[in-house]
Structure formats: structure tokens, C-alpha cells
A and B are shown apart, each in its own frame.
Chain A
Amino acid sequence: MSLNKMDLSAAVKKQLNYKMKVYVGMISSLVIVQVIGIFFSVVSPLQGYSTMDYVEIEYMNYNTLNIITLTSLWALIHAIIMTTKNEWENAFPFVGNTLSNHLANMIFLVGASIVAGIVTILASFTVRVYLYYFTDELFFMSPGFVLNGGDLLAGTVTVILHFLLLCAIGYFLGTVTRLHRLLPVLLPIVVIGLLITINYINHDWMMNTVEFYYGETSMAVFLMKIVVTAGILFACSIAISSRTEVRK
């Protein structure tokens, strides 16, 4: 069968199958990162101290932010790794072209975000269960300990979209670094420099950007913002890549 006549969806499917095999290390690293996150969520709560006239209070506030932070880092880094030259070249012993490779990568990242999101939400139960059954910690009137169905739905949707956004950012940055061989070294400096400069010109810019996404209180609008942003980033990645690739 000629490559030219190969159906795009079939090519994407084949490449996706290949990627699911070759990127299995990414899944292992997700599990390791999650376990580390759970460990730090349990052993390093935020500690506070308060004193009134005769009463002193020491309190520890547990949360699962460590798991989310580490998994976010995992999503960003692995999306960048997927665009490295080696990984890119490895995908071409198989049928397909640049577009099918990108599409397969994106579908894989969407799937990885969904898996990462689900395990992150479930890991927050593990932290709660460990603290309740295996420690003698006293939880005093802690409404945050209880997660209901609404919290789970909102949490799962949010965290999946959050990881998807980070994957899209990582994929975009990784693709940009392939424009020039010096960019892998220069890009982090350029990005950090740009962020500092923009922040210098407009102090609220970074805060407003974060607020634009994470201050959103409507699930539908939040979903739309993230999906559109991720879509634009992926589309830009494809456009940039098509200008640099010899192999079409």
C-alpha cells in the first residue's frame, strides 16, 4: 500500500498504537510522581500557629496540592519530551506523515490528561483515608475532608482540563524549540525573560491571566476557555512544525 493512499485516520490509529507502547514509561513515571505527591501531602501539611490571650492553637492544614503540582510538572515535561527530535524521528518508521504524527501525539496527550486527572482525583481519597485510618490526627470540624458528588465532578473536569492545558503548552514550547538548534537552550531564557518583561510593564498581567482561567466559576465557560486555548496551541504547533519539517 502506498503511503499517499493511506487513510489519515488509519495512519493516526497506527501511530497512536505505537505511541501507547513506546510512551509506557510516561505512565510509570505518572504513578511514581503520584506516589511521591501522596507521600508529601501526608508528611508536609501547612502548619500554623495562633495565639490569643490564654489560648494557643497549633494547627496543620492538609491538602492535595502536592499531587497536582507534581502531576502538572509531569504533564508539561512529557509533552515537551514528545516533541524532541529523537522521539519525532522514532515515529516515522511507521506509516504516516507530520499531521498524523501530531494528531496521534495530541490524542495520546488528551488520553494521558484524562488518566492523570482521574488518578489525581482518586489520590485525594487515598490521602484522606490514610490520615483518617492510619494516623491519630485529630480533624476538628474540617468540612474540606468531605467530598461529595458535585465536588468530584467539578474536580475531575477541572483537573483533566488543567493537565490538558499544560500538555498543550508543553507541546507548543517543545515544537518551538525545533525551529532552531539553539532554541532548546535559549527558549527557557527567552520565555522567563518575556514573562519578567511583561510583568514589569504590566504588574497584573500574570495574575489576570491566571485569573482568566482559574478564576472562572462557570464549568461550561472554563471548559470552553481551556479547550479553545489548547486547540490554538496544538494548531500553532502543527503550523510551526509544517514549516520546519522536510517530511510532509
Chain B
Amino acid sequence: MSLFFTILILLVIIGFPFLLRRLQLSRFGYWLLGGYFILLIASVVAYTFIPTEEFADEEELPTEMTNRIYLVHEILDQGVPLEEFEQYKKKEWEFPVGTEESFSLYAGPDYQFPVIIIKRVEDQEAIHVDYYEVTPEIDVEPVHEEGEVTVYNHSGELTIEVLGYKLYRFNSMEKGFPFNQFEEEEDHSWIYYDVFDDERMFYITIPADIELNVDPDMDVHWLN
């Protein structure tokens, strides 16, 4: 295909002037250029009406790209109390302990590894599982969204299921050569991904005297 395209382009570049000369249409060349030039000038005029503030400034990225909250980092590294992130709590479950002395924590077959924080709490009679989700604060809506988050207990086996996915589609325009010949064009794609990514976290509190065996594949952080 690319070979065909290359040959086609070569034919246009070489053959077109000869064809025009043969058909005695060469004199239209400058008229063609004039018409094309008018079209280009019209494009420039139309371009000036595009509100440039819709596009991120390269030197000053929007706050939603730089001021994201990273729950796990805030809780584990910064020691911020969980209560401050109440607005991000989406679901909660409670599983009475009863006579069980130990529980196991498993992931469902299509589990997608959110971070799990576990804390032992004195004088607690049940296992509490809270689910937190930080979604991006951007104007872009996902073109596809499905998601199911469930936790269930089956005979002392706690299973976490996180299913589904979100699909975003977006476009970007590269300045590229020759506009960036004398400056380094920054690649912001990593920030884009960061902005689109959801952060999901389970916060599990268990009675202090309960033993909880965790599937080693899960990303678990014990607070105490």
C-alpha cells in the first residue's frame, strides 16, 4: 500500500507538470496557486476565531492536570485521616464476624488490583469494607463505561470483585516540525494518562482478634 502510494505521489509530482504542458494548461498554474493561496488565507482568518483558551497552555497546565488527589498517597504517606476523603466513598459493606476466628481475602477472576488498606480496630464486631473512588475532574466523558464493584462473604471467604472498564477517546494536535525546530516540544501524554486514570481503593477495618489471610497477589497495605 505504501509502495503504491509512493508511486502515485511520484507520478503526480513528475507527471502533472508534463501533463499540463502537453494539454497546454500550464498557464493556469499561477491561477491555481492564487486560488490555493486565497483558501489558505481564509483558513488563517477562520483560525483566528477559534478560542485558543479551549486548549491547554503549554507552560501553564490546567489545575485538573496538576492538582489531583491521590488517596493512597495521602493516607499512607502523608498520614491524612480517612475522614477527609468521605466525599470519595462510593460503597460500603459490613460482614458480621459471628463465631469465625479467621477470614480469607480473595480477588474475583476479573479483579483489577485496586489498592487495599487494612486496619485492625479494637472493640469492633464486624468487618467493614469501604470502597473509595477518585474520578478525573475533566470535561471529557467516557465513550464507554461499565463497572461493578462488589464484595461478598462466603463461609469466611471475602471476595472482592472489580469488573468493567471505562473507555475515553480524545485527539491531540502536535506542533511538530518545523514549528518546534528551535524549542523542545514537551510531551504531556503521561499527564494525560494520569488525568484519565481512576483511583480505586478499598479500606478494610477488621476486629483486632480476627485473623485475615490475604491472597499474596493483592496490593495490600496494613496500617497496624
User: Which residues on A are within 8 Å of B, measured CB to CB?
Assistant: 21-36, 45, 50, 52-65, 68, 70, 73-74, 77-78, 81, 115, 119, 121-126, 128-133, 137-147, 151-152, 154-156, 158-159, 162, 214, 216-219, 222
From B140, B177, B188, A143 is in contact (CB under 8 Å) with B188
Query: How far apart are the CA atoms of A24 and B26 in the complex, in Å?
Result: 6
Q: Is the CB of B200 within 8 A of A45?
A: no
Q: Which residue of A lies closest to B178 (CB)?
A: A158
Q: How far is the CA of A164 from the CA of B126 in the complex (A)?
A: 78
* B26 contacts A119, C-beta separation under 8 Å: no
User: Looking at chain A's contact residues, is the secondary structure mostly helix, strand, loop, or mixed?
Assistant: helix
Inter-chain contact A24/B44, CB cutoff 8 Å? no
**B179:A53 contact, CB within 8 angstroms:** no
Question: Quick one: which of B158-183 are within 8 Å of A by CB?
Answer: 162, 164-179, 181-183
Q: Is the CB of B67 closer than 8 A to any CB of chain A?
A: no
Does B185 sit at the interface, judged by CB under 8 A? yes
Chain B residues within an 8 Å CB radius of A142 = 55-56, 171-173
B interface list, Cβ under 8 A from A: 9-10, 12-14, 16-18, 20-21, 26-30, 32-33, 36-37, 39-41, 43-44, 46-47, 50, 52, 54-58, 61-62, 65, 112-114, 138, 140, 147, 162, 164-179, 181-183, 185, 188, 192-193, 196-198, 200
Nearest CB in chain B to that of A144: its residue: B175
Question: Which listed residue (B47, B170, B197) contacts A139, Cβ 8 A?
Answer: B170
User: In the complex the two chains form, what is the Cα distance from A24 to B43 in whole Å?
Assistant: 25
Given contacts A53-B112, A162-B178, contact A139 B9 (CB under 8 A): no
A123 / chain B contacts, CB cutoff of 8 Å: 40, 43
Q: In the assembly, what is the distance between CA of A133 and CA of B11, in Å?
A: 32
Mostly, the B contact residues are mixed
Q: What are 6 of the A-B contact pairs (CB < 8 Å)?
A: A63-B176, A129-B46, A131-B171, A146-B55, A156-B178, A158-B182
Q: Which of B140, B174, B181, B198 contacts A63, CB < 8 Å?
A: B174
Within the complex, what minimum Cβ distance (angstroms) separates A123 from chain B?
6
Determine how close the nearest CB of chain A comes to the CB of B16; give it in whole angstroms.
Answer: 4
Pair B169/A126 contact, Cβ less than 8 Å: no
Q: How far is the CA of A4 from the CA of B42 in the complex (A)?
A: 49
Contact A59 B178 (CB under 8 A): no
Q: How far apart are the CA atoms of A34 and B198 in the complex, in Å?
A: 42
For B33, B166, B178, which residue has the most chain A Cβ atoms within 10 angstroms?
A: B178
Question: Once bound together, how far apart are the Cα atoms of A54 and B46, in whole Å?
Answer: 39
Shortest A19–chain B CB gap in Å is: 12
- Can you name the residue of chain A whose Cβ is closest to the Cβ of B111? A53
Pairwise interchain contact B182-A218, C-beta atoms closer than 8 A: yes
In Å, the complex CA distance between A64 and B61 comes to: 24
The 5 closest A-B pairs by CB, nearest first: A25-B17, A24-B29, A158-B178, A122-B40, A141-B56
| Given A25-B17, A52-B197, also A126-B12 (CB < 8 A) | no
The answer on a CB contact under 8 Å between A58 and B179 is no
B12, B17, B197 pick with most chain A CB within 10 angstroms:
B17
Residue in A closest to B135 when the chains form the complex, CB atoms: A55
Instruction: Name A130's closest neighbour in chain B (CB-CB).
Output: B43
Q: Which residues of A contact B172 (CB under 8 A)?
A: 59-62, 139-142, 144-145
**Cβ–Cβ < 8 Å partners of A124 in chain B:** 179
Contact A154 B174 (CB under 8 A): no
Q: Which of A29, A61, A115, A222 is within 8 Å of B13, CB to CB?
A: A29
Q: Contact at B40–A119, with CB atoms within 8 Å?
A: yes
Are the C-beta atoms of A140 and B40 separated by less than 8 Å? no
Minimal Cβ-Cβ distance residue in B for A68: B177
Q: Cα distance A219–B30 when bound, in Å?
A: 31
Given A50-B193, A65-B177, does the pair A143, B168 have CB atoms closer than 8 Å? no
Residues of chain B lying within 8 A (CB to CB) of residue A57 = 167-170, 192-193, 196
A31 with B178, Cβ < 8 A, contacts A122-B41, A146-B55 known: no
Query: Are B17 and A26 in contact, with the CB atoms below 8 A?
Result: yes
